A and B are shown apart, each in its own frame.
Chain A
Amino acid sequence: MTGGKMVLAADAQALETKHLGFTISPHEECAVEEAVRIGGEVVVLTLGPAEAEEQLRDCMAIGADRGILLKTSEEWDAQSTAAAIVDAIRAEGPFDLILFGNESADAAGFQVGIRVAHALGLPVVTGLKKIEVQGARVRCERDVGGARDVYEAPLPTVLTVLEGLNLPRYPSVPGRLRARSKPLTVVEPGRPEQKLEKLRLVVPEGQGKQAEILEGAAQVVAVMQSLGVA
């Protein structure tokens, strides 16, 4: 989702999305780009409403071969999301690499990738900024404050990646047109009882305001003084 100031719906259970466009979050965008660069058949999967097809088509426009939509009109917690994805992967299988965004841009639970790996009995490496497939193994790097941890894992494996892993491409027009006819499987998984309950949303103080408009020289001077440059 993109947008400026966040506005909550009257019941504080959701964001007002009337003026907003939707997009996949930056970590996942990099995951899809990386998958397309690595090559082989690329399948992109999401759990979301019917409208999420648009984001799946966006991924197919930059090179994913087909999509799977786990369609639901409700919100799911991380545990049940992971379970639904595991079911879908088992139904599809086998995969060499399962890439996740490190955390979602909305709930930011940091859990789904790890839960899926655990359920499938696969190794998982998280928070990655570099991936290199070397034969039957994958070499991964993670930033750790001025240095990098390097991991190697056997395929198949689960990786969760961070924005900055690569520079995702823009879709081309032929890519867009091809995406329209690429296969999309829609599955409606049953929603298990949720272990996580949402009480309400609150917009944090000062959110969305990144610029302050100064009026007149006096204010400019005051700001510069507060910064210690005048």
Chain B
Amino acid sequence: MSTVVIGGGIVGNSLTGWLAELGVTDLVQLDKGPFPNPGGSTGHASNFIFPVDHSKEMTQLTLESMRQYREAGTLHECGGIEVARTEERMEELRRRMASAKSWGIEDCRLVTPAEIKELVPFVDESILLGGFYTPSVAVVDSLRFGTVMREQAQAKGAQVFANTEVTGIDVENGAVRRVRTTRGDFDAATVVIACGVWSPRIARMAGASIPLTPAVHQMIDVGPVPRFLTSKTAVDFPIVRDMDTNMYERQDGQGLEVGSYAHRPILHEPDDIPSIEESATTPTELPFTQEDFELQLEHALQLVPEVLGDESVGIKYAINGLLSLTPDGLPLLGETPEVKGLWAASAVWVKEGPGVGKSVAEWMVHGEPEIDLQSSDVARFYPEQRTPEHIKGRTSEGFNKTYGIVHPAEQWESNRGVRVSPFYERERDLGAVFYEAAAWERPHWYESNAQLVEEYGVQGREHEWDARWWSPIINAEHLAMRQRAAMFDLTAFCVFDVVGPNALDAVQMVAARQMNVPNGRVVYTPVLAPRGGFKSDLTIMKMEDDRFRVVTGGAHGMADMKWFRDHCPDGTRIEDHTSSVCTVGIWGPRARDVLAAITATDVSNEAFPFSTWQELDNGVIASRISYVGDLGWELYTPMERGLELWDALWEAGRPHGVVPAGIGVYGTTGRLEKAYRAFGAELDQDYDVVEADMAWWKVKEEDFVGKAAHVAARDREPAATLCTLTIDELSRTPLGREPIVREDGSPLVDAKGRRSYVTSAGMGPSIGKYILMSYLPPDARDDLYVQYMEQLYPVTVDVVGSRPPFDPDNERIRS
């Protein structure tokens, strides 16, 4: 049985090369077009790479890609400057300096307009306030690199077929079996869709979905430019990204390429892309629509008048080039949740291609990539996020944010209100400010609590950026919870049961902690990747001998569900209850009084201890755990009875002063005061359980994924330990991902080469301090700073490890 890679663009070629390198034999690569340019997005890519991104995952993929391009001799370093026309953009560039340091890109610096002029003499620096200069920005030859990788694979025995179109993919018993093509069939146990803009169409042949849309990126090429006639290389001058106009200008030989992400979103359907025969040039180079580029010409002329204002310089080439956009702007990688053996490697740009090729190949061969791909996992989407409305809405909205200033907490505007809890109307009446999680609407705070701000004397935030997407009401809700109690809508949880005679074996294999526990227990457990990093963390309720209920965060729930399904032995199945069960949390010193008022079941500490669950007399399933560090329960009930539960709690809570509270408390303030870790922030594949200071007293006898690595980690000194820091002055409030540095601004680098950065940030209202979490190497405990907007703010290491700053002995949750 073969492994078939469909696609011969930068991704398909890189992946084929890496699969061969990792020892995959019987390897086949197909493309419907000719090599080296089969006609996809790679063929018309502008081929430049700016390494710095706010996302760690994307930066790691880009840096790995640059390494490969360089090693293959297909990278030319020319430098690049992201220029600012506005003060708001300058602030964003300062923020980029922080990301550069956090992710280990050393050569960046802010430059003045005069320095920009010196580097790129053909810009009009008078309209600029400054720039972010990265000398390592490069242009690459993605077609040449792809050819090298493909030929390396061929030398190792891979078969490569050009001009071979896929006409069908056969699936048997939920697993891929065969690829049908215009040149005959290939029996295959593993198939990778690396088809860029055509990926949704190919996935559909197998009954899977790859949620991306082809979208237009407009680009023109002007020339010949007199200044470039004497250039010694194809790119003598740094590439300029004109961030505020969503455009770029780059030398290309004697010409200048001008590209734009500023025009209206122009989306296409994969089925409507012309065939190779019908295309004037290639299928992804569509006729230019001049009217969409009019404003862009003016903007470009403002920045490079010497070139574009020259009457002798003509517009020689102009295209509407197609590229892939996804609802959240991230790639689509990994095995599809619908079909075993069918993998996606789609929505990848030239700058990440080789890194993705290597990572997906490792994932396929070793079960885990070296770079954590959790944000790009194709399994991350719920059905509600795979709809045409969602894809069109989000990609249209996201396109113009390509060079945007995107606040870390910024919310989407399109396709909202898709999933709502039974309490939604009540929440709206209370002035809930809704944020979205996994297509669910979740209150982040309630305007009805505004009077609490004064009552508790909560301070606002001075700086607009720090205060954006935030409210002092969050801190007030937190204090009311600690003093009285608060109700939370947690319906966005992903809830599923592992059911069957071998259910215990399945959960034992996935969960790092002991799952052979009495019925009625709730276990919080890390879920480890094979190399011992975090795959997830979640709670599991032992319901019956053959039934375990998994409750996990909405954002990562679908990927978690796939991971459990992948580890289910025959006869064991997954039952998804996410859309049939709603959840209310109630925590705070009065939580027991409130709960006791709506049930006759004994909820005393003796009858209902911490870390257990019970079905109450009213049918509600109550689980006594807490992510905010206070006495209380998660309460689960069928969706249709949700409103009844909410109203009952509300009424019972009134005499006790219970307030509704949002995710601002649940996810940040309450959590950070208790030093609770969050997946995707503190917990990812780069760090292990010991480093997170979450190792429990003994390792269970039973086998589990990541056990050997975990045991090894316990036997060595951690290279870094997750610490709780507090910031000494509150004039600015970092929002996360900023580097922790020494007084001279030098980064902290641990023995594994990882840099210390802020994994989570937020106020601890009850301790009166602003909290940062960060992994610190053992020698970094004093004289530390957080670098925020190019300023250093002193920080104090309050706790090394997981001991909570608030209620360190956990008396509240056990009261």
Residues of A at the B interface (CB closer than 8 Å) are 2-5, 7, 18-22, 54, 57, 169-177, 180, 208-209, 213
Contacts and interface: CB of A to CB of B under 8 A. Distances in A.
A169 B313 CA distance: 10
B310 A19 contact: no
Given A19-B286, A170-B314, A171-B314, A177 B297 contact: yes
Given A172-B222, A173-B308, A175-B311, 4 more contacts: A3-B278, A7-B278, A19-B278, A170-B316
19 contacts: A3-B280, A5-B278, A18-B274, A19-B287, A20-B287, A21-B287, A57-B290, A169-B314, A172-B315, A173-B315, A174-B301, A174-B309, A175-B311, A177-B297, A180-B294, A208-B277, A209-B277, A213-B34, A213-B163
B810 interface: no
Contact of B311 (A172, A180, A209): A172
B648 to A, nearest CB: 59
B461 to A, nearest CB: 44
Interface of B: 34, 162-163, 222, 272, 274-280, 286-288, 290-291, 294, 297-298, 300-301, 308-316
Given A173-B222, A177-B298, A177-B301, A21 B313 contact: no
A50 to B, nearest CB: 13
Contacts of A57: 290
A173 B300 contact: yes
Contacts of A174: 301, 308-309, 311
Nearest to A170: B314
Given A19-B286, A20-B287, A170 B315 contact: yes
A54 B315 CA distance: 15
Nearest to B223: A170
Nearest to A20: B287
A7 B280 CA distance: 13
Closest 5 CB pairs of A and B: A170-B314, A21-B287, A19-B274, A5-B277, A173-B308
Contact of A20 (B280, B290, B297): B280
Contacts of A180: 294
B33 to A, nearest CB: 11
Contacts of B288: 21
A22 B280 CA distance: 11
B315 A4 contact: no
B272 A18 contact: yes
Contact of A172 (B279, B280, B310): B310
Nearest to B161: A215
Contacts of A177: 297-298, 301
A178 B279 CA distance: 31
A3 B276 CA distance: 11
A173 B278 contact: no
A25 to B, nearest CB: 15
Contacts of A2: 280, 287
Contacts of B310: 172
B280 A173 contact: no
Contact of B279 (A4, A171, A213): A4
A54 B290 CA distance: 8
A174 B163 CA distance: 42
Nearest to B272: A18
Contacts of B163: 213
B85 to A, nearest CB: 19
Contacts of B312: 172
A4 B276 CA distance: 8
A171 B315 contact: yes
The winner among B34, B272, B308 for most chain A CB atoms within 10 A is B308
A171 B291 CA distance: 15
Contacts of A171: 314-315
B278 A172 contact: no
A199 to B, nearest CB: 25
Nearest to B283: A19
A19 B309 CA distance: 32
A18 B280 CA distance: 12
A99 B305 CA distance: 34
Contacts of A169: 314
B297 A176 contact: yes
Contacts of B301: 173-174, 177
Contacts of B308: 172-174
A52 to B, nearest CB: 13
B178 to A, nearest CB: 23
A10 B291 CA distance: 30
Contacts of A18: 272, 274
A172 B313 contact: yes
A36 B278 CA distance: 34
The winner among A2, A20, A22, A213 for most chain B CB atoms within 10 A is A20
A141 to B, nearest CB: 27
Nearest to A172: B311
Contacts of B290: 54, 57, 176
A180 B290 CA distance: 11
Nearest to A7: B278
A173 B277 contact: no
A172 B309 CA distance: 8
A175 B308 CA distance: 10
Contacts of B300: 173
A227 B146 CA distance: 34
A206 B162 CA distance: 22
Contacts of B309: 173-174
B294 to A, nearest CB: 7
A176 B315 contact: yes
Contacts of B279: 3-4, 19
B306 to A, nearest CB: 12
A177 to B, nearest CB: 6
Contacts of A208: 277
A213 B182 CA distance: 15
The winner among A170, A177, A208 for most chain B CB atoms within 10 A is A170
Nearest to A61: B315
Nearest to B316: A170
B281 to A, nearest CB: 8
A22 B290 CA distance: 11
Nearest to B163: A213
